[in-house]
Amino acid sequence: MPPLGTSWFGVIATTVCLSVASYIHWYNSRLKSVNYMPGMRVLFSPITIFGAALPLTWWNPGMKWTWYWRKTGYMNRQRDMISVVPFLAGRPFYYTGSLHVTKQILLNDFKIQMEKPKSLGSALLLWGDNLITANGEMWKRHRRLLNPAFSRETYIMVIEETAALYRELVSAEGWSTQTDLTFDHFNRIPQKLAYLVVARCGFDVRTPWAEEEANPDDPDTSLGDTLKIVCESVIARLLLPMWAYRLPIKSLHFIDSKWKSLEVQMNEFVLRRKEELDVETLDGGKQRKDLFSRLVGALDHEAKVGLSMQEVIGNTFTFMFAGHETTAHVMSATLAFLAIHPEEQEKAVDEIRQNIPADKDPTLDDLAKLTHTLACFVETLRIYPAGVILSRDILEDITVEVEYPRKETVAIPKGSLVIIDMVGVHHDPHVFPEPEKFNPSRWYGASDHDMTMFGAGPRACIGRKFSQLEALTFFSLLLRDWKVDVLLQPNETRAQYAERVMEKASMIGLAFGVESVPLKLTKRA
């Protein structure tokens, strides 16, 4: 009989060998699921909580790699697609940074059996299904009900309200008596502007620019202020389990109370608007055209033809936050680029002065002539796409044509997840020469279909024109009155400013953008 120690050693050794063999077999099956495509072999999937929460390293790229590794990703841009196969947590999937592959997928959104995975839209599902997260017939129902809200009448209202808010801004912030203004964090201005434009045009909530800041601890905080607080805490709400809010941590109690308060306020807001619409209908009054009124008008508790209460609230939350944050981030970054590149700013100013009289607000027809100014906005959105990823679960075997490393057909098996890296797509040097260069002229003459930063195919962003008109109105008024310049630190050059400011980009709330833009405004003669 062998010594007891030897026996136990054999058991342990056998167990270890079997475990290693089992793991190798398991991991090989994961590699096989992506057809052994080269790519990232990491500890955690970038789209899991672990991957997103841990710092960016070679073994944990997280969600930030698409920006910080944009120049060297996809094997130094020699592959249109790569695979991600985690060693520990998360399902294997495909990444693509190719516009060619992206169009094959998105333009066939209803020809190929695929859908948006619920798990990757969880931030927008916190309040209910909505146009962005819905699939199939549900998406068609949402789109049919919401599409009429984005009309010429709405776009005219966007221009008028943006112009009105600009005047309120100038008065309330004391700009009218100043010749020079400095901002360590200019982002605050477009953020507030975009929020108020969506509130007025989307929800008929006429909050003035000069409204006093509410006390967040006040139990009677307004719906608008509660919405702001909730938006700032979306990531915490997503990552933390519900039991965490019962811990003796004041900040978590505060977040929990505001989320619960918002649920009550949103239900009351919907029911109150429903009553108002019913009364207006009985009185034969003018029908409201704003987005929220259309949502409430479609309220159908069985949700067979219209929308359920949760869907009304889900769409309200999505459009209020995804809508205003996207536009705000791009406006801030566009002004930063125009400050860094004064020659592009002067082209925009000349164009604005030629097409919009100095004593008048812009009209829809006027803004259609601002081709260079729009190109500046679109080029900024190319560099900083507000939605960093688009995702699709593939529900049938499909193939796509790739161009790199060579032209060939790639099979994507049923059950695969494909993630479209919007930063990678729009920094592809094969499509956008010198992708790091701010070059608005690359968009001269481009059609809406060319502007794939808003998505492509039937599910492209429904609010694209809303966003563009809001930005163009703001730019036309601001640049007509003020010269925008960089706010330099001591002994700093413009190139150093660009490196310091424009490289620091990340997810801010629900959209991607430059974290902080310091600017200087000088009154034009």
Q: Is 461 annotated as a binding residue?
A: yes
Rounded CA-CA distance 139/460 in Å is 12
H or E element: which one contains 506? strand 505-508
What phi and psi, each to the nearest 5 degrees, are found at residue 517? -115, 105
Q: SS3 for 333?
A: helix
183 touches 189 (CB < 8 A): yes
501 touches 228 (CB < 8 A): no
Cα angle 216, 222, 226 (rounded to 5 degrees) comes to: 55
- Residue 369 tokens read as 């002539």
Rounded CA-CA distance 121/115 in Å is 12
Rounded CA-CA distance 54/315 in Å is 31
Rounded CA-CA distance 419/283 in Å is 51
- Phi-psi category of 412—alpha, beta or left, where left has phi over 0 and alpha has psi -120 to 50? beta
- Residue 185 tokens read as 């964090």
Task: Give the distance from CA 321 to its chain's centroid.
Answer: 9
- DSSP tag of 265: H
Rounded CA-CA distance 312/315 in Å is 5
The CB density around residue 492, as the number of other CB atoms within 10 Å, is 13
**Strand spans (E) along 347-425:** 389-394, 398-402, 408-412, 417-421
Does the bond joining 55 to the residue before it have cis omega, within 30 degrees of 0? no
Strand-pairing partners, residue 482, are: 523
Rounded CA-CA distance 254/207 in Å is 24
Packing angle between helix 464-481 and helix 188-197, nearest 10 degrees?
130
Task: Give the distance from CA 503 to its chain's centroid.
Answer: 18
Which segments are annotated as binding site for heme? 461
Which segments are annotated as binding site? 461
